[in-house]
A and B are shown apart, each in its own frame.
Chain A
C-alpha cells in the first residue's frame, strides 16, 4: 500500500492484555507504523469521539476492537467505529467470543451490584449508596454509563469482518494477522487471522506421547496433583482442551506444564466451543456404566462450565443473540 491507511485500536470491557499484546510487538510495531496511520488508540494517541464522528463513513481502513461489550458507552463506540471502518476486527478472546468476563452471563446485574456495593465482605455502606446512571445530588449531576445485564461479544453488536484469537493473542499471532491484512489479497470475510487451522495438539511438543485413542478413568485437578513434564497431559488425566482448540499459540501453557484452557477458541465449522468441549471430554471417559460415569464426573469435572466455556459463554448457541436496544 502506497498511501498510509488509517487504523484504529479500541478497547471495551477488556483487561489491557490485548494492548500489551500490541506493545509486545516491540521492534515490529515500527513496520506497522510505516504502513498505517493510527487515528484512534486511546492509550497512545490524541483522541476524542468527535474526531471519529467527523471522519467519512468507511474512512478508517481497519479497526481492531478488543474487550467484550457490557456498557452503553462501549456499545455506542463500537457502533460508531463500525460505521467509520471498512474492516472491523474482533481482537482477542473477549471481543471474539466474550472472554472470561462473559462468565458473568450466569449472574444478574443485581447480584453483581449487590455484592459490590452492599453485601461484600469489606463493604461499609450504611447509607446504601450505589452507582446510579444520571445521578443527581443537589447541584451535581453525573453521567455514568448503563451497566448492562449481560456481556456481548462484538459480533453480537455489529458486523465483524475478521477475528484474531487468544487471551491474549501472542506476538506471533498478531504479527501474522497484520501481515495477512496488508497482503495483496484480503482473506475471506469471517476468517480467523494469525492462528493455525489445526488443533493445538498438532503443534504441541507432547503430541508424540499421545496415543491414538485416549481413555480417562479419573480426571485430575491440579489442586492436589502435579502434572508430570514431557508426557501428554490428557493421558495423565488432565482435561487439557488441546484437541478442540485452535492452534497458533505454540502451546505455551503446556510448555509450562499447564493444561490448555482453550483461549484460542474453536476450530473452523464449530459454532459452540463449549458444546464441542463437552462432547470431547465426555467421549474420553473410560466407562459405560451410568453410576461410574457420574462418579468420574463428580471427582474431576463436577462444575464443568468454567472449564468448557472459560472464554466463550456469550457465544454459546443458547446465548448467541444480537444485542437488544440498550443492552437490556
Chain B
C-alpha cells in the first residue's frame, strides 16, 4: 500500500516550501521531495530596462537580503562598464555589506535557528522561540539583540537610502559617502557589534557545546552529507563576503576549482525537475548524478559552513581564533555536518563585525572620492557576492546603450536546494520505517531546513522561531488517513 506524506512547513523558500514523502509497499520511504511552488520571472521582465536600474529592481527579489542583491547587481554593473570603483567606494560598499551580514546573521542566530539549540531541540514548541531564548539568556540580552540590530539598520538607512531595498550602488562607486561628523556613530556601533558577536559565541559555547546531546546531534549521520563546498575567497584564500574568487573544495577538502565569476558558466549548471519551481544547481564538470552526495556527484553546498570549508582562514584575529576552534572541535576540515552551519554563522558574525570596525576606522572611509564615472561601452557584466545564504551571481548583457538584453541569476538559496532535499530524504528514511512514523520527523525536518536558513522571504523574521509543520499521510486515493502536526 502506497502512502503519500505531505509536510507543509508554512514558511518560505522562494515562496512556500512543501515536502512530499512517498512510501513504498512496505511502508518504507521510497523518496522525499522538496517542492517549491513559486517563481517570479525576474530574468525575463528586466529585459529592455536600463542596466543602472538593476540594483534597485533586483533588490526586490528578496526583502530579507536586498543588500546582497543590490551589491551583486552593482558589482555586475562595474564589470559591465569595465570600471573599478575608487578605493574609498570599495571600502564603503564592503563596510555596508558587512553591517548587513552581521545584522542578518544575528537575526538567524537568535530568532530563527538559534532557538533549536539555545532553548533546546527537545523543548516544548511554545518555548522554542525568541521569547524562550530571552528567558534562557536573560532579558538584557534580548534587548541587546533588538537594539544592536536596530542601530545597524538605522545606519544602513542613513548611508544607502533604505534598509529594505537600498538605493545607492552605481557602476564605479556609490551615490553617497559618509560625512566626517557621521563616522563616529559608525565606529561606536561597530565596537558594539564586535562585543555582541563575541558574546554570541560565548552564548553558543555555553549552551550548545557544553551539552553532549547537542553535540551528538550536530555530529549525527542524519545531518551529514559529503558534498562539494563553494565560497568566495580573497587573494590569500581568506574568507571574504564582498569580493574575490570563487573557490570550490571537494568532499575531502581539496581545492577542486578556483575561478573568477566571469567563468561561472563553465562550472555551474542547473538541473530541472517536473515537480517543483526551484532549480538545482550542480558542478557542471562533475555532472548531475541525482540526489546523492560524494565526490562523483556534482551537488555542492553554500552558506556559512560551506564558506568556512572553502576558505583557508580568516583575516581578522578574533574570527580566526573562533575558526580554528571550530575545526579543532569538529575533527578537522572539511566539516560535513549540516547543523554546524549554526556555529559557522556565529564565526562569520565575528568576522563581519571586526571587518565593519576595521573599515569604519579606515581614514579613507570619509573621503569624497566615491565614484569613478564609466566611459566604456557596456556589453557583458557579471558580479558576485556571498549572501548570508551563499554565493549569489548576477549576470547581465546589454546593448551598446546599456539596456538589458539578457539576465541570468544564480540565487544563493537555490545552490543549497539539492542538499536540502537530501537532508529531508535522509531524515525521512531514518525516521519512517515500515509504515511507522515518529512525530520526531517534524523536528528533524524543521532543523534540517533551518540550518540552511533558506531565504526568499523566509522565516528570518519568525518570531516564535517555530516553523509550523503539518504532515498528511495519504493513501493511494489521496485520502488523509493520519495527520501529524507540531502545533495545537
Contact = CB atoms under 8 A, between A and B. Distances in A.
B241 interface: no
A142 B33 contact: yes
Interface in A128-169: 129-132, 135, 137, 139-142, 144-145, 147, 167-168
Interface string A293-308: 0000000001101110
Contact of A48 (B4, B10, B47): B10
A303 B403 contact: yes
Interface in A146-198: 147, 167-168, 170
A47 B10 CA distance: 7
27 contacts: A11-B457, A14-B63, A16-B455, A17-B60, A17-B164, A19-B457, A20-B460, A24-B150, A42-B11, A48-B470, A48-B487, A101-B41, A107-B41, A113-B39, A121-B265, A125-B271, A139-B30, A144-B275, A223-B50, A225-B373, A226-B170, A252-B161, A252-B162, A258-B168, A263-B165, A305-B48, A306-B48
Interface stretch (B230-238, B276-284, B289-297): B276-284
Nearest to A33: B463
B51 A223 contact: yes
B43 A24 contact: no
Contact of A131 (B20, B149, B274, B466): B274
A223 B76 CA distance: 12
With a 10 A CB-CB cut-off, give which of B171, B269, B276, B277 has the most chain A CB atoms.
B277
Interface of B: 2, 4, 8, 10-12, 15-16, 20, 22, 30-31, 33, 35, 37-53, 56-57, 60-64, 66, 77, 81, 146, 149-150, 153, 157-168, 170-171, 173, 175-176, 264-265, 268-277, 279, 281-282, 284, 288, 371, 373-375, 378, 395, 401-403, 406, 408, 410, 455-464, 466, 468, 470, 478, 485, 487-488
B468 A46 contact: yes
B61 to A, nearest CB: 6
A68 B264 CA distance: 33
A112 B41 contact: yes
A104 B48 contact: no
Contacts of A222: 52, 170, 175
A117 interface: yes
B157 A227 contact: no
B63 A140 contact: no
B272 A221 contact: no
Contact of B53 (A116, A123, A137, A306): A306
B288 A112 contact: no
Contacts of A202: none
Nearest to B159: A256
A14 B44 CA distance: 17
- Interface majority SS (helix, strand, loop, mixed), chain B: loop
Contacts of B403: 302-303
A103 B487 CA distance: 39
A16 B456 contact: yes
Given A145-B37, A252-B157, A303-B48, A123 B60 contact: no
Interface size class of A (residues with CB under 8 A): 35 or more
A20 B60 CA distance: 13
B45 A167 contact: no
A131 B165 contact: no
A130 B164 contact: no
B463 A124 contact: no
Nearest to A17: B63
Q: List 6 tightest A-B contacts by C-beta distance, closest first.
A: A17-B63, A16-B457, A256-B161, A46-B487, A258-B167, A124-B269
Contacts of B81: 223-224
A123 B44 contact: no
With a 10 A CB-CB cut-off, give which of B2, B33, B284, B401 has the most chain A CB atoms.
B401
Contact of A73 (B37, B168, B268, B458): B37
A111 B274 contact: no
Nearest to A132: B274
A253 B63 contact: no
A43 interface: yes
Contact of B43 (A101, A116, A145, A263): A116
A314 B157 CA distance: 29
Contacts of A111: 44
A112 B272 CA distance: 14
A12 to B, nearest CB: 9
B461 A43 contact: yes
A101 B60 contact: yes
Contacts of B60: 15, 17, 99-101, 167
Given A103-B45, A226-B170, A16 B53 contact: no
A223 to B, nearest CB: 4
Given A106-B45, A229-B176, A24 B164 contact: yes
Contacts of A47: 10, 468
